[in-house]
């Protein structure tokens, strides 16, 4: 009616290939927006809790008080790195209370320091994996969706020209409508790809900030326990 496109009709009567492409792109777009919303909330909370944790850490005098405070910061990757290091540190210090010779104590301290360092590194890697979860899907969508849409458009145009050739009527009125219908696949592909690309870059930037905070905190924490706990470690 009035030459306007019926988008529902395009999806349902565009042929198996074009319809499949459009449905795939629509479902991908819905999944992308769901991931964008959830990941944005997660990263925002992770950043807020990490800032709160660092303020608590540098303000507090006792590690056990800080450990207790981190129970209210389950999303902060920096807080979780500290918890892993503190648990390992507690094991090391508890195991080195028994009397031993200086050489044995030195060996235990060196081994304990390395254990804490490894625990911090493992926790940082685990938290980084959690932060990056589902973000690659956005990158894949951003890279692949335009090409999937273009494939649907090319296939639709091929079908349109085939139908025009069979009908033997190739004027502007008969050509423009099927081609414009075929171009919808490219438009839907771009609609799915552009938000995914913007979110992918933004989330990766935020994740790199949190990753640097975990690395910097791990280095600071190791320096602190080396000075005040493993005093004999040169």
pLDDT band at 118 (very low <50, low <70, confident <90, very high): very high
Task: Report yes or no on 95 lying in a domain.
Answer: yes
Q: Is 1 exposed, middle or buried (0-12, 13-18, 19+ CB in 10 A)?
A: exposed
With a cut of 80, say whether residue 112 has pLDDT above it: no
The residue-averaged pLDDT of 107-127 equals 82
Which of 132, 148, 145, 131 lies closest to 196, judged by CA? Answer: 145
- Structural domain count, the chain: 1
The residue-averaged pLDDT of 145-173 equals 79
Task: Report yes or no on 82 lying in a domain.
Answer: yes
Structural domain boundaries enclosing 186: 7-228
CA dihedral 14, 16, 19, 24 (to 10 degrees): -170
Task: Report yes or no on 1 lying in a domain.
Answer: no
Going from the C-alpha of 51 to that of each of 1, 46, 54, 70, 201, the distances in angstroms are: 58, 9, 5, 12, 22
Task: Report yes or no on 234 lying in a domain.
Answer: no
Residue for token digits 């980084």?
128
Task: Report yes or no on 233 lying in a domain.
Answer: no
With a cut of 70, say whether residue 3 has pLDDT above it: no
């Amino acid at each position: 009616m009035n030459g306007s496109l019926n988008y529902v009709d395009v999806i349902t009567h565009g042929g198996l290939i074009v319809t499949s492409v459009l449905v795939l792109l629509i479902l991908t777009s819905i999944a992308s927006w769901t991931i964008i919303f959830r990941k944005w909330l997660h990263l925002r909370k992770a950043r807020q809790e990490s800032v709160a944790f660092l303020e608590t850490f540098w303000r507090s005098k006792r590690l056990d008080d800080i450990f207790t405070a981190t129970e209210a910061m389950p999303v902060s990757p920096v807080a979780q790195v500290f918890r892993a290091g503190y648990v390992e540190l507690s094991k090391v210090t508890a195991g080195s209370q028994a009397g031993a010779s200086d050489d044995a104590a030195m060996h235990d301290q060196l081994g304990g320091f390395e254990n804490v360092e490894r625990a911090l590194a493992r926790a940082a890697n685990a938290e980084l994996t959690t932060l990056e979860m589902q973000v690659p899907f956005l990158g894949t969508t951003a890279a692949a969706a335009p090409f999937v849409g273009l494939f649907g458009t090319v296939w639709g145009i091929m079908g349109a020209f085939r139908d025009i050739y069979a009908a033997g009527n190739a004027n502007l009125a008969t050509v423009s409508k099927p081609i414009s219908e075929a171009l919808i696949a490219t438009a839907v592909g771009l609609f799915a790809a552009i938000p995914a690309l913007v979110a992918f870059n933004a989330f990766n930037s935020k994740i790199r900030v949190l990753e640097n905070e975990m690395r910097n905190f791990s280095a600071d924490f190791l320096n602190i326990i080396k000075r005040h706990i493993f005093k004999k470690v040169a």
